[in-house]
Amino acid sequence: MTASRLIDVFDPRTGLVDFRLTVPEPEEVRSLAGRLRAAQPAWHALGLEGRIAVMQRWAKAIESHADSIIAADSRDTGFGQISRIAPAMMLGFLRGTCAQAPGQWAAAGRSGVSRTQPHIRYDSVLKPFPLVGVISPWNAPTMLSMLHAIPPLVAGCAVLVKPSEVTPRFASAIKSSFADIPELRAVFDFVLGDGATGAAVIDNIDLLSFTGSVPNGRRVAEACARRLIPCELELGGKDPLVITATANLEDAVSAAIRGALTSTGQVCFSIERVYVERPIHDAFVKAVVERASKIRVNYPNPLEGQLGPFISLRQADIVDAHLDDALAKGARIVAGGKSQFLGGGRYMDPTVLTNVNHSMIIMREETFGPVIPVMAYDTPEEAVALANDTAFGLSAAVMAGTEEEARAIGERINAGNTSLQDAFLTFAAGPAEADSWGASGLGGKRSGIQRYLKRQALLLNTAKPTCLTTEDLTAA
């Protein structure tokens, strides 16, 4: 008999192991998937109205479990900023999905008369994918797992979530929130493990939602392609912020600080490149350095300060390597610096760089840390070219003197959600349904619950069936 494999999980604040998970065998994942799949027809049979009623009961339960969800997510992330609002975001998304679902369901249906054969009428039946898998990342575990689990549940699918092995603690708190809702408990579950567990999930589902890095996303896409199942990939970003000379300087600094430093920069749509029109470049750098100096890490008190530790120690190494490469190529650090150990956790002060260019890794690859590289530009055309000089296209931002000026630049940037007169607005995008560009994503572009529904066409002949005859063959 094969011995169980254990994974040590580290507390990002202390660097100590405080959680240990047992990696399930593939047979265990298959069994769990089979149980969820077997329960899905009854969940689908409740109808959309019935499922919404169950989800509304869950919303009330989440309210009563909010403190435990915050506590678990905070342990996972080192008391990151998003942890404190995770239940509220989850509730807003759940209730919003339920409110929009009837309209989306109606819009997904099709009916009418054939344009070429008027005696043929058609309508459609919507059928949910039986079992949806969700592989979620470590940077905002509750929010990003529920973002992809809630819509398929409303659509009538069963859902199996595999969290990152770096941040698995939140799963227990989420499961506790629906433990007293048998209809939901039958079709919704979590499985803890590593990449091998994720592979086993892919082997047993009908559609996958994956959020993570580009290299892992490629591997996931290849595995789904082998099974010929659809996948949604939300991958990395290298989001630009363009600031024109006419922009309000104070507002531009606020947008840059919030966009780059929220949750220690460990957000896929964090601002990672700032392009400032040359006449205000020096003033912007001075102001952003002054504002950054007031931002503190949340050590030793996790409830004081704005920047938590790196959730993953490996990510701190990546950010430090990006800084080393930039400095070696002529960049200058004007605030902050490389990561440091505090009480066993890895922290970084807000770090501002100047003299950067696109030969540097820090301007081309995802950094995922509290770093603000600032580069001057001379014309709007140059700003757009710099913003588009990337393999990514998740989101972007523009600050200008007027909405019209910001829009004229924003429309030319190849990115999904593009914030105008602010940054980091992707959380508010909702039904905007933006498409990612390049290496930032793939699939999942239909609205809300529609992406989890397959449409079956029913064709009705209102005349007598025709018979294939010799004359038909001659005419053909």
The reply to whether 63 belongs to the active site is no
Task: Tell me: pLDDT of 278 over 90.
Answer: yes
d(CA 156, CA 174): 19
- Decide: helix, strand or coil at residue 109: coil
Which candidate in 234, 272, 366, 405 is catalytic?
Answer: 234
Instruction: Record the pTM.
Output: 0.94
The reply to whether 467 belongs to the active site is no
Task: Tell me: pLDDT of 186 over 60.
Answer: yes
Element (H, E) at 420: strand 417-420
**HSE-CB of 40 using CA atoms within 13 angstroms:** 26
Question: pLDDT digits over 293-340, tens only?
Answer: 999 999 999 999 999 999 998 999 999 999 999 999 999 999 999 999
Identify the pLDDT of residue 192: 98
Q: Domain locations in the chain?
A: 5-235+436-459, 239-431
CATH topology of domain 239-431: Aldehyde Dehydrogenase; Chain A, domain 2 (3.40.309)
Question: pLDDT digits over 131-169, tens only?
Answer: 999 999 999 999 999 999 999 999 999 999 999 999 999
**HSE-CB of 137 using CA atoms within 13 angstroms:** 22
Task: Mean pLDDT check: name the lowest of 54-63, 99-108, 329-338, 441-450.
Answer: 441-450
Omega of the bond prior to 300 within 30 degrees of 0, cis? yes
CATH class of 5-235+436-459: alpha beta
| CB within 8 Å of 146: residues ≥ 6 apart | 90, 93, 94, 174
Question: pLDDT digits over 362-393, tens only?
Answer: 999 999 999 999 999 999 999 999 999 999 99
Task: Tell me: pLDDT of 447 over 70.
Answer: no
Q: In terms of C-beta density within 10 A (0-12 exposed, 13-18 middle, 19 or more buried), how is residue 398 classed? A: buried
Question: pLDDT digits over 21-79, tens only?
Answer: 999 999 999 999 999 999 999 999 999 999 999 999 999 999 999 999 999 999 999 99
Which candidate in 268, 272, 365, 405 is catalytic?
Answer: 268
Please tell me the total number of residues recorded for the chain in this structure.
476
